[in-house]
Structure formats: structure tokens, C-alpha cells
A and B are shown apart, each in its own frame.
Chain A
Amino acid sequence: MKTPKERLNRLRFRQTLLSRYLLIILFAFLFIPIVLPIATFAYVIVQENVKRADDSYLKYGSSSEITAMWHEQAALLGQADAASVDRKLEELRLKYTEASLFWVDSSGTTMLQLPPQERLPIHWSPADAVQFMKNSIDSDPFTIVSFLGAEHEGPAFMVMQIPRSIIQLDRPIGSGTPFYVAILLIMIGLFFLLSLLFFRQIRKRLIGLQAAMSLQGNQSLPQPIVISRHDEIGQLETAFNLMVEQLRESKERELAEEKLRKQLIANLSHDLRTPLTVMNSQLYSLSREPLSVNGQTVIKQMELKIGSLDNLIENLLSYTLMTSGRYPIKLEQQDLLRIVRESAASWYPLWEQEGIAADIDLPDEAMLLEVDKAGFRRVLDNVFQNVIRHAKSGSYIGIKVETYEGRLALVIRDHGNGLDAHTSSKGAGLGLAIVNYLLHEMRLDWHMASSSDGMTIYIFEQ
């Protein structure tokens, strides 16, 4: 079986667009030296055929045929008497009805005239004969003079006059020129049509290819296309299909990798949390035992540490997913304040427990933004978590909507010790990195203002 690559290289020259293009160019070059003579030749042949057809159309044949006939008749009448000449002429007159016939005997007397003519002299002097001949040359009617006798020795002669329109078609010289020009025009038109069709076909296929590229099938990948012909565009189409195939494979690989990574993280999460859960439950059992005040404090401390370790694992795993672009973000138009209220509702009991006074002042109007609900909950969770962990001393959390640098911003404020307290404790950096990542993904911006009076976080649209 041939691989597509082999097929690409084994393109026959006569299949190529190049060959067809060269053919057209060749045609154009041959136009003057070949097409013109061909046209001329065709013209001449056609003309000849037409002429022959004309001749056969003539009633009595061409002028030369009639002339030959007349001379022949004259030769036969060499020794005939006047009566047989008359009879002959009458006989001929019956056949050539349009002709005027007469004859002059050896004495120069005009004999039978069919029909009688006025202008003819009764007796022919040599001058009359010369005058008659002179008038007859190239005139209408066509005149044939023949001396009687086998050798046409004369002096008797007979004359036939016949209108030229009967023996000759009225066709001026050069009457075939329009035909000639038409042939040339048709040839030129044919040439243009051919090149137009050639380029139209190329264009159509290129546009088809472009449409196939912008069209997206499943997995948001372009679909392979049917290869129309094995020429250069056919090669392009083959290469395109090859690329689509590779894209699909890499997409599948990516999905498999993503699945594997998620599985790994899920396993890791399970393996790390199971011992924590066991520790937690054992601490709980321990706290049920009679213990000194100091013992209870230690248990409380350990529970806190387990909590923060759990949080750290969570953040670490999430951050791994996020930085590898595997964290699902689905942006939807939502009321940001509604998410804030719901999040605050779940944190409120904890704030109460920790003695943090919540000052929540959110307007009734919705603050509609394109956000991912779960992602934004995560942002708030991390920020609120940091407040509990690092700004408990301030006993305050304020959640408001204010203007920040001319924009409406969600403001979360604490009265802790500011940034130092947040960053010096391990784990906070990761939490804020997640906040940063998620907000960036949701096309939101944030600003952190810190002083010794506490920290304020502004979240606003980019």
C-alpha cells in the first residue's frame, strides 16, 4: 500500500495543473503562426467548395463549358448547308432559351437570327466584325463567336449571346472576408473560454479547500475532504487531510494525557487525604478522653494543622491542574453579587465562630459579569480563607462594591496586619496564585492594597 507521501511525489506530469497551463500558453503562442494559416487554409478550401457548388448550380454549366459546347457544334457544321445550320440553331435555341443565336454565312450575310436583332448588320464587312468583337469583350451578354468547320477555318461563323447572370454567379471578390474574421474571432473566443474555465476550476477547488478548513466538525477539528483530482491542488488536499489526521491524533493524545493526569491527581489526593482523615478521626476520639486543658489545646492545634495541610494539598493539586490548562472554566453571564452572597453565607458561621465581624454591604442591583461560577467561588474561598488564617487579629471582614479607578469593583477588606502577615505564612502564596490564575482566566483584574491597617482586595473587569 502506498503511503500518502509516496502518492504526493508520484504525480504524473500530464496530470499536473502546470501541464494544462503550459498547454494553454502554447495555444496562445501558436496563435499567429499556426492558427492564422489554418484559418486561411480553411477559408480557401471552403471558398473552393462553394465555387464548385456554385458551378454545379448554374443551369448550363460555367462559361467555359458553354464555350466548348458552342465550338463543338460549330466544328460539326463545317460542310453543312444553310438549312441544316438553321435547324441546328433552332434546336439549340430550344435548349438554351435565354440565349440569342445567329449566324453569318461565308459571304458575310447575316442569316437566321433567333430572336431577330435590330442592331446586327445585314452584310458584315471586316470592320463590322472587328467592331462586334470589340463590343462583345467582357460585356453583358456573354458572347461566343465560332467559325464553322472542323478546323474553324471560316469564313462563316455563328454567334451565341447569353446573359452573364445565367452562366456566372454574382459574387464580388473578397466576399468571404467576414467568414474569415469570424473564424479568427471564434478561435480567440475559444482561447479565452478555455483559460477562463481553467482558472475558474482552480478557483472553485481552492475556495472549497478554504471552506473545509474553516468548517469545524466534532472535537472542533476540520473534517477531511474528498480528493477531487491528482494534481497540485489534489496534493494540497492530501496534505490537508494528513494534517487533519495529525491534529486529530494529537487531540486524542492530549485527551488521554489529560485523563491520565486527572487520574494521577485523584489518586494522589486520595492517598494524601486518607491518612489525614485517619489522623483527624483519631484526634477526635482522643478529644473525647479526659484530658488536661493543655492536652485539649494541643489537639485543637493539631486539628488546625491538619486543616491547613488539607487546604495546602487542595491548592497544590488545583494549581497543578490549572497551570497545565486542565482546569475547566466555563464563562457565563452571572450576577457576581449573588455568587458573593452565597459564598459569604457558607463562610459566615466560621466568621462568627472566629469572632470576625462581617460588614457586608452589597447593592440590590445585579453586577452582571462573564464568570465561571465554580471558579469564582474558588477565588472567594481562597480570599476568605486567607482572611481567617492571617487577618483574624483584625476581627473584621468587609465585603462591598466601590469604585476603583473609575470602575465598579468588588472590595474585600480586612483589618489584619497587611501583606506581611499574608505572605510570610506558607501556603498563602499558592492560594493567591490560584486567585490570580482564575481571575485572569475569567478576564477579570484584581489589585491588592496592603498597609499596616489591613489589606484590601479589589476585583474588577479588565
Chain B
Amino acid sequence: MRNFLKRGGSFFKKGQVAIFIIIAILAVGAILSIYFLNRSARTTERFEETNPQTFIQNCIEESLNNAIETISLQGGSANPEGYLEYKGYKIEYACYTAEDFKTCVVQKPFLQSHIENEIKKEIEEEFNFCFNQLVRNYEDRGYNVNFKKGNLNVRLVPKRIIVNTTNEITVTKGNTQTFKDFEIVVNSNLYELVWIANSILEFEASLGDADPTIYMDIFRWIKVEKISREREGVVYIITDRRSGDKFQFASRSLEWSPGHEASRIAIY
């Protein structure tokens, strides 16, 4: 018996390994199946025939939040031009001059409008996809669908970002229902952060410098950091301490070259 066990021991060991591998594969497969089934189930669940607004909100929200975050951390642009690099981000200059001892030239006169346009451009494709998906969902449920494409508009307002569209969907299945003026709202303090950024920009363009502490004296929940990037300018980072919302941008104004005035010295 002992010999049998000795001879067969290695066989049993190999068998144990194989069993464990099979169990592991089955377990991973089960987990993945649950995940993907659940995801599709969630997608199905979210669609309510009488409330397409919720569907659109859920569909676009993630892309919208991603776009807001990316644009906020890159000085207000999705694809920055004229930027400096800081901590892996390309941060666009809102005000810039290549010359030393001169105040900067404004590159972004209307920061808020620019950001609104950038967000709109970033989510437009996803937005169209969501509406196409909505149309398909209705059609799958036997509705006749008439879709009229309208305009997409993004607005930064106090404490929120509102995305609205004049898209119109008319669905018919016995009765006819028309859904229009879709509005997606996300909580964000970007409006307030950009307001402060504009104020800083004004100082940078007119005086060549801004004091970050004056904003922290006035606004209870705001942190303003000014990071000097030698010869490249400065990065301003404006953070809402409560929500963690952040907006950062670069500026190069009134830069001083080293030993700047010494050429004026004439000893002899």
C-alpha cells in the first residue's frame, strides 16, 4: 500500500495542481461573467420608457466628468497649444510673453466660454452615441421613433455644469409622446474656480503678478497655489477644499532674467 502511495504520490500531486488550475479558471470565468452580465443588466435597467432624460444623464455623465477633469487640469483646453509641462500635465498658458521684464499677452480672453466650448467638443460624439442608443432602445420596444437633432450647449453656472440640447424625440406606440429640451446637470464648482482664475489673469496681464493669498483671505473654501517653473512662468492651481474640484493654468509674465540690472553698473 505504501509503495502504491509512493508511486502514485507524484501522480496525485500533479493531479492536485491540475484541479487547482481548473478551479481557478472557472472562478475567473464566473467573476467575469457576473461582471459583464451585471453591466449589461444595468444598462438595460437604466432605460425607462417614460424617462429618457435619466437614460441620457446616466449615459453621458461619465464622459462629461472625464472631460471636465481633463480640461480643468490642462488650463481649459482638451488639446493644449502653447503650454508648459507640470507633473505630467500639459498646462496651457492663459497669458504669455516670451520677453523678459514685460507683462504678458492674454491668450484666453474668455476663459469660461472657451472651457464651455471645449467640454462641448469633447462630449459631442458620446452625446450623439447616447441619443442613437436611446432611439435604438425605443425601436427595440416596438416604438416608432422620430428623432430631430438640435443644438448642444454647455454652461458653467454656480455649483453646477449644465449640458442641454434641443434634440427632440417623438415616440409612438399607440400614444405619441414627445421628449425635448434634455438637460444634464453635474455638480461642479468650476464656475467659481474659473471666476478666480479670471481675476488672477487680470493681475498677471496688468501687473505681471498675482498674490494667491488674497483669495484665501476672502473665500473660505479655496486654496490657491502658485508654482514657479523657472523661466517658463508659473502654474496657478485653484482647489475647492470641500469638493476637491481643481482648475490649473499657466502664465508667463514679468519674468526677470538673472543678474538683470548689473549691466548698468559702471565702476570706472
- Are A and B bound to each other? no
Q: Which residues of A contact B (CB under 8 A)?
A: none
Q: Which residues of B contact A (CB under 8 A)?
A: none
